[in-house]
Amino acid sequence: MAGSGRLALGTLPVPGWVRGSGPAVLSRLRDAAVVRPGFLSAAEEETLSRELEPELRRRRYEYDHWDAAIHGFRETEKSRWSEASRAILQRVQAAAFSSGQTLLSPVHVLDLEPRGYIKPHVDSIKFCGATIAGLSLLSPSVMRLVHTQEPGEWLELLLEPGSLYILRGSARYDFSHEILRDEESFFGERRVPRRRRISVICRSLPEGMGPGELGQPPPAC
Ligand SMILES: O=C(O)CCC(=O)C(=O)O
Ligand SMILES: [Fe+2]
Ligand SMILES: [Mn+2]
């Protein structure tokens, strides 16, 4: 069990990087909250962080997001990517989105300093559609999802560097998501020390909205 990274839950295999309040929520969100560890090769991680570093370094860490959800961060909305990074983003698109979904462009890049964190929030339904997909770089972190109506229902995702997470449907609309601060960064019993983390986040447009119809998007969803 421990060796394979999977835990048998009745007949339902639960990956070792997902924990939840119970079998019902794990089963219900099985295809709605997905983590793919090792989605990026070491070379791909390096490609992305090298490309992002100079752009991020020009900015200063901020301590209040526009909606105060994010603390200790800097961010950019990036539309021009190297060919190598474009290939990675296309793999994300193919893995996370259906052919009918249009992606929000530009791509959101978020740099959380070691003491930075993201408070529980649901991404704006005005600006983001049904699917959110994020690559994690540099540091592991724990993403917690909590049902907005039933706080006893929760899921935790262990996001290792190089992993891809996908939130869609119910996981995206009915659950808040957050990135735990260093002091609270545990995956079950396992301490997950938070260092600086960069995430690269792709989102679909709200259904029925064309790429030109968005108006002025917020700095982040
Ligand atoms: O850093 C992440 O992976 C998530 C960021 C996030 O939740 C947001 O910008 O709305
Ligand atoms: Fe979010
Ligand atoms: Mn946000």
Give the separation between CA 67 and CA 120, rounded to whole angstroms.
11
Please list the alpha-helical segments (H only) found in 100-200.
170-173
Cis ω before 106 (30° cut-off from 0):
yes
Give the separation between CA 97 and CA 107, rounded to whole angstroms.
14
69-106 pLDDT tens trace: 999 999 999 999 999 999 999 999 999 999 999 999 99
Count of the separate structural domains present in the chain: 1
Q: Rounded to the nearest 5°, which phi and psi values hold at 13?
A: -80, 130
Residue 6 in domain: no
Predicted pLDDT of residue 6: 56
27-49 pLDDT tens trace: 999 999 999 999 999 999 999 99
Residue 63 in domain: yes
Instruction: Check which CATH number belongs to the domain holding 49 and give it.
Output: 2.60.120.590
**Complex ipTM value:** 0.96
How far is the centre of ligand 2, averaged over its atoms, from the C-alpha of 49 (Å)?
A: 21
Residue 23 in domain: yes
CB 97 within 8 A of CB 204: yes
The model's pTM is 0.91
How far is the centre of ligand 2, averaged over its atoms, from the C-alpha of 11 (Å)?
A: 32
Residue 162 in domain: yes
Residue 1 in domain: no
Structure tokens at 73: 């961060």
Q: Which residues contact 183 (CB under 8 A, 6 or more apart)?
A: none
User: How many Å from the N-terminal Cα to the C-terminal Cα in the chain?
Assistant: 38
Residue 217 in domain: no
Query: 220 CB less than 6 Å from ligand 1?
Result: yes
CB 76 within 8 A of CB 186: no
Residue 2 in domain: no
Owning domain of residue 92:
15-207
Residue 30 in domain: yes
